[in-house]
């Protein structure tokens, strides 16, 4: 049965959003009850309470999670985030999205996710290292190159991955590079991984433009988030000729109708700590910036940015979801009614996990590819996946997001049936 749209709190609960979209796709696919039950529930959930000595000698206990939603198509795959508002529901939703994302781009992984409740901004490098190593030790039996392969997410990075790889390797008594992806290049990381998610966004937007008869030079882009995903997408799309007219950050937004100089904006932020007051642009209101006129909107920062309260004001023709879960399930129908062409998160930001897959393959084979090879293979997968989703949407008369979920569910359900996982 479909979940009903309920309270405002339900609208922004990522697990409710994930469950709602799952139910809709399962219903349309007429998925049998047993498979529905299997896929609606995460396969494994681990909660750990990690004691860590702080720099001032006090002992603090941090709570961490690792959830494996499904391993039907291969080892669980998914990032680890460090943030004060991490919750089990959020980690569950993110793990389920990873299952669907890996299936949409047809790579041999299931879905997992992890998180630690902490405030990285007030923790020292040493404290973050101790949290990471202790968290890794506590989830050690859960992870591994053939079991569950973490990666960076919000507030974790290459250094975090290097600590996880080292802690895991210490316990295994030999170096195991394939236990995490998103590592520094000298520790088994892949060329092209830092740009992969932003590059993937650009590739699918270029495919979408063909459907609108638009060229990059005629395309105004607004990007929310100037971090890994948004910053890279801005840089690459700027170089490809797109007009990046607005960048939105947590402390303000900057706008130039003729296009911002993205390299100069990056330099400005490095020097001043903010994008605000950038010369050659006008400061605009952060919350209304994503509602301005443009051809492409890329939310690449947070969850629940486009909701039932503002979806009707979105003017973009194409919405490319760089972040995970930026649109609530109640906003979906509003966007559909207004003919916004949605490139859903489980497709749009799949470039990251795709190059993570390449990294895992390279680590296991011990042979490393050059950047051209990585980018070429990424483009091949993103273009094919975009076309698969659009063809599915047209064949079944559904919207792109529903099509992406249906395609993913179909692939995972088929793996479950072939394996006979509930025998
Ligand atoms: P990040 O921390 O590098 O960047 C996020 C940026 O958003 C930061 O610059 C931050 O200041 C900004 N931000 C925070 N609050 C904001 C607000 N209220 N308004 C505007 N900007 C705000 O993180 P990231 O790795 O770029 O991830 C962003 C999103 O993309 C997350 O949802 C993440 O799960 C998703 N994602 C990331 C990857 C990846 O490879 N990094 C892959 C797939 C999906």
Answer whether residue 382 shows pLDDT above 50: yes
Q: Does the beta carbon of 229 sit less than 6 angstroms from any atom of ligand 1?
A: yes
Average pLDDT, integer, range 351-371: 98
What tens digit of pLDDT does each residue of 297-340 get? 999 998 999 999 999 999 999 999 999 999 999 999 999 999 99
The one catalytic residue among 37, 77, 101, 113: 113
Mean pLDDT, residues 334-354 = 97
Phi, psi angle pair for 221, to nearest 5°: -120, 135
The rounded distance, in Å, linking the Cα atoms of 127 and 55 is 7
3-state secondary structure of 250: coil
- Give the tens place of pLDDT for each residue, 157-193: 999 999 999 999 999 999 999 999 999 999 999 999 9
Please compute, for residue 327, the number of CA atoms within 13 A of its CA located in the half-sphere on the CB side. Answer: 28
250 lines ligand 1 (CB under 6 A): yes
For residue 14, the model assigns a pLDDT of: 84
Among 227, 291, 353, residue to substitute to test ligand 1 (most atoms within 8 Å of Cβ): 227
Answer whether 154 contacts ligand 1 (Cβ < 6 A). Answer: yes
Give pLDDT, residue 422.
Answer: 64
| pLDDT confidence tier of residue 423, bands split at 50, 70 and 90 | low
Quote the CA–CA distance of 110 and 97 in Å, as a whole number.
Answer: 10
Report the distance separating Cα 202 and Cα 212, nearest Å. Answer: 15
Residue 17 scores a pLDDT above 90: no
Residue 296 pLDDT: 98
Position 279 confidence tier, pLDDT thresholds 50, 70, 90: very high
197 within ligand 1 shell (Cβ under 6 A)? yes
For residue 7, count CB atoms less than 10 angstroms from its CB and return exposed for 0-12, middle for 13-18, buried for 19 or more. exposed
Please state, as a whole number, how many other Cβ atoms lie within 10 Å of the Cβ of residue 258: 10
User: Active-site residue 191, yes or no?
Assistant: no
At 30-61, the pLDDT tens digits run 999 999 999 999 999 999 999 999 999 999 99
Contact 327 CB / ligand 1 (< 6 Å): no
Q: Using one digit for the tens of pLDDT, what is the confidence trace for 67-126?
A: 999 999 999 999 999 999 999 999 999 999 999 999 999 999 999 999 999 999 999 999
Mutate to test the pocket of ligand 1, among 107, 153, 202, 356 (most ligand atoms within 8 A of CB): 153
301 CA from centroid of ligand 1 (Å): 4
């Amino acid at each position: 049965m479909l979940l009903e749209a309920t309270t405002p709190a339900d609208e922004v609960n990522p697990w409710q959003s994930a469950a709602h979209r799952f139910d809709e796709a399962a219903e349309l696919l007429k998925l049998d009850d047993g498979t529905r039950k299997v896929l609606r529930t995460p396969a494994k959930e681990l909660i750990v309470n990690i004691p860590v000595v702080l720099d001032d000698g006090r002992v603090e206990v941090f709570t961490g999670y690792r959830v494996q939603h499904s391993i039907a198509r291969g080892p669980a795959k998914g990032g680890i985030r460090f943030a004060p508002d991490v919750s089990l529901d959020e980690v569950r939703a993110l793990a389920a999205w990873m299952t669907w994302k890996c299936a949409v781009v047809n790579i041999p992984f299931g879905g997992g996710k992890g998180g630690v409740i902490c405030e990285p901004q007030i923790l020292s490098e040493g404290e973050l290292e101790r949290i990471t190593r202790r968290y890794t030790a506590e989830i050690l039996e859960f992870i591994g190159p053939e079991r569950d392969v973490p990666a960076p997410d919000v507030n974790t990075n290459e250094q975090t991955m290097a600590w996880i790889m080292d802690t895991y390797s210490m316990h295994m008594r030999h170096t195991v590079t394939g236990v995490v992806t998103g590592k520094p290049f000298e520790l088994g990381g892949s060329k092209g991984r830092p740009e992969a998610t932003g590059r993937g966004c650009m590739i699918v937007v270029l495919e979408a433009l063909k459907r609108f008869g638009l060229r990059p030079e005629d395309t105004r882009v607004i990007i929310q988030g100037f971090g890994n995903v948004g910053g890279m997408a801005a840089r690459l799309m700027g170089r490809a000729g797109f007009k990046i007219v607005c960048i939105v950050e947590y402390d303000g937004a900057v706008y130039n109708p003729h296009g911002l100089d993205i390299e100069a904006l990056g330099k400005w932020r490095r020097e001043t700590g903010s994008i605000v007051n950038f010369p050659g642009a006008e400061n605009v209101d952060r919350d209304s910036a994503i509602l301005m006129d443009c051809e492409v909107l890329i939310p690449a920062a947070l969850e629940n940015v486009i909701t039932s309260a503002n979806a009707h004001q979105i003017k973009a023709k194409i919405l490319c979801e760089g972040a995970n879960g930026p649109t609530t399930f109640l906003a979906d129908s509003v966007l559909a009614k207004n003919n916004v062409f949605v490139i859903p998160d489980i497709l749009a930001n799949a470039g990251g996990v795709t190059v993570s897959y390449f990294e895992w393959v390279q680590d296991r084979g011990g042979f490393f590819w050059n950047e051209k090879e990585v980018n070429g293979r990424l483009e091949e997968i993103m273009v094919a996946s975009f076309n698969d989703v659009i063809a599915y949407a047209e064949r079944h008369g559904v919207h792109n997001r529903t099509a992406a979920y249906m395609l993913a569910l179909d692939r995972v359900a088929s793996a479950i049936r072939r394996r006979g996982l509930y025998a």
